[in-house]
A and B are shown apart, each in its own frame.
Chain A
Amino acid sequence: MNEPITNLWSVPLLVMIPILTAIVVNLLYNKARAIRVISIGAAIAVLAISVVSPYGFHWFAGHPAVNADGTYTFTASVFSWKLSLEYYYGPLQQILIAVTSLLLLFVVVIATKSLSKNYGPYVAIVFLTYVSAAAVIMTNDFYNLWIAVELGSLLVAGLVASSGTGYAQKAALKYTFFSALAGSGLAISLGLILGITGYANITDAIHFLMTNDLGGMHAVLYVAFAFLALAWVYAGGLIPVHPLKSDVYRSAFPHATVLLQAQSKLMLVAIGIVLLRMFGALPFAREVMLSISVLTMIIGIVMALIQTDFRWTLAYIIVSHSGLVTVGLSLGTYKGIVGGLFQAVNDIIYMSILLLCCEMLLYFGKGTSIKFNGGIAKKSPWLAAFVILGTFAASGIPPFNGFQSELIIIQAALEQSLPEVAAVVLMVSISTFIALFRAVYSIFLKPGEDHPVRQSEAKRFEIPTTVFVFLSVLLAISFVLGVYPQLALGFLTESALKVVFVPWVP
């Protein structure tokens, strides 16, 4: 499917359609019907483009494309005027953008149904958040990486603040404060790399580092790594920024958190891969990444265990499982990277199931507190079934997708002679089940406070048809990937091979 395309038609469309949609729906402001039609149409369009698009490069201002063997499609004379701004659309980008596009469609449908005012700006922010996620995973240069991360962090704040509560606005403000720190960090990293190598393009910079001796300037590379790692930690919500990120996850509407957590995973994967490609050979670089990941996993899950609200529990589990994604990447081996990438795909899917169930609890007007709920299973057995199966998927119980990716990560850790990391992954998996099932039992399975007779007579909570369909689709994907993981692995292996063996190829 690799076409000798130098300017792939689909790349600008994946970026420009959501941007144009954001502008239009913002102008339409409160015209609900028009906004709904346009936004759903745009979401379907980007989903279709991401699925049917061939693989290839898109250059801004004529950057030469890179072949699989690391050579360029253009002649050497072109090198003199290339501007280094480049997007790449490959199998990894395809699966991640397609899954995010599917979630965008679900989020847009729910948002345009559930909101009562300010449709336009809210839907515009939703689309722009999608753009930041799509751009970050496609880019092969530090300029676009920086822009996508900066844009992404501001939009996260916007999406959270839009939920309207004082708590959410506070969380958004705190997150924005740190965006200045992480954004500047990435900019400094970009500046240092540009200063040492002369290239902002990642492929070119790696080529330069491999073919030139930096001599005394080597230390600058370590500083660049540290700043880029800081941006990675911030964008993905890894420790020690996780309290701010979990605040963000739990303060936004759950349907918005579906998109936020997908965006975070794409940021983690994109920047994580850049860190591996660019700095993977530095001593201790992978160890630093692994330490951050393991700590995030543990602190995230421990904090999830002690929460008394389902939204908060989910927020910390998202943080913890972000660590699971980055553990795989940080191992740096072919199997580890495949496991990390697969975990990112799976995590986006099963957390979306749980978040949509959470959205339904709010829709029923019951709240998400563990303390003051109970008996929802009797009133909405389908929702109980979805949340229990979602819990199984998140806890790595077969036959769901979480099992497959966690198994690959555990195998990769064992192959690296790191049984301790494998043990921590297992601990997280088991604790995820405890944390989630604690909440599921209290909210869904524990008898409610109503009198038993009155409870059975009480009106049932009906899940809206659209949400029922979305939950069924996500659960079906989770099940299919659990039974037949090759469906997703086929998209991920090429990227993992490139990172390990030909890191200069995007």
Chain B
Amino acid sequence: MGSIDSLYDRVKRYLTSFFAGEGSTDAITGYSSGELQMTVFFMVLAAMFRVFMIPLGIVLLLVATILIAYFAPIIRTVDRENSSDLNRVLFWVIIYFSIILAVTLWGR
């Protein structure tokens, strides 16, 4: 079993551990695709910092890769944070508003 195979096995084991019964269901397809989507997105996002400085982009890409590998699967966190619970949404709205304000004021 090569290294790619074992990484795949690890991800699959993580994901299937959430579900009882069969290893391949409608839900597992969605969660697997979602996990991959988020992984690629964070890497793309990290690489995007090349706009400011290429070495910064490289460092952030490496950091993102390590963090994703460590914290995977991240889809469960995304799922949890996306609840329509008022307190949670309000928390993120306040964070967002602060970021918008801070970034634009910093731009000045």
Contact = CB atoms under 8 A, between A and B. Distances in A.
B27 A241 contact: no
A423 B104 contact: no
Contact of B41 (A218, A298, A303): A298
Interface in A424-462: 424, 427, 431, 434-435, 438, 442
B64 to A, nearest CB: 13
Interface residues of A, number: 51
Given A222-B105, A241-B93, A243-B82, A288 B100 contact: yes
Interface in B47-99: 47-48, 51, 75, 78-79, 82-84, 86, 88-89, 92-93, 95-97, 99
Most buried by B among A223, A284, A292, A302: A302
A131 interface: no
Contacts of A490: none
A174 B100 CA distance: 23
A244 interface: yes
Given A427-B41, A431-B33, A303 B82 contact: yes
A294 B38 CA distance: 12
Given A222-B101, A226-B100, A240-B89, A305 B30 contact: yes
Interface residues on B, range: 35 or more
Interface in A181-233: 181, 218-219, 222-223, 225-226, 229-230, 233
A301 B89 CA distance: 18
Nearest to A294: B45
A157 interface: no
Interface string A240-259: 11111011000000000000
B70 to A, nearest CB: 20
A438 B26 contact: yes
Contacts of B8: none
Most buried by A among B31, B33, B47, B86: B33
A177 interface: yes
A143 interface: no
A239 B79 CA distance: 14
Nearest to B97: A230
Contact of A174 (B75, B86, B107): B86
A308 B75 contact: no
A219 B40 CA distance: 37
Contacts of B48: 418, 420
A225 B104 contact: yes
Contacts of B107: 222, 282-285
A434 to B, nearest CB: 5
A283 B100 contact: no
Given A222-B105, A283-B107, A306-B75, A247 B44 contact: no
A247 to B, nearest CB: 5
Contact of B30 (A174, A222, A223, A306): A306
B50 to A, nearest CB: 9
Interface in A291-336: 292, 294, 298-299, 301-303, 305-308
Contact of B96 (A222, A233, A282, A299): A233
Contacts of A178: 89, 93
Contacts of B44: 420, 423-424
Given A247-B84, A298-B41, A240 B26 contact: no
A302 B86 contact: no
Nearest to B48: A420
B34 to A, nearest CB: 4
B78 A288 contact: no
B86 A177 contact: yes
A350 to B, nearest CB: 21
Most buried by B among A177, A222, A239: A222
Contacts of A285: 104, 107
A492 B89 CA distance: 35
A370 B105 CA distance: 47
Given A288-B100, A288-B103, A371-B26, A302 B84 contact: no
A415 interface: no
Nearest to B92: A240
A185 B88 CA distance: 19
A226 to B, nearest CB: 4
5 contacts: A219-B108, A233-B96, A284-B107, A303-B82, A308-B30
Given A233-B96, A243-B84, A299-B82, 8 more contacts: A239-B96, A240-B96, A288-B104, A298-B38, A298-B41, A306-B31, A306-B75, A308-B27
Interface of A: 171, 174, 177-178, 181, 218-219, 222-223, 225-226, 229-230, 233, 239-244, 246-247, 282-285, 287-288, 292, 294, 298-299, 301-303, 305-308, 370-371, 418, 420, 423-424, 427, 431, 434-435, 438, 442
9 A-B pairs with least C-beta separation: A283-B107, A240-B92, A284-B107, A243-B84, A222-B104, A305-B34, A306-B30, A305-B30, A226-B101
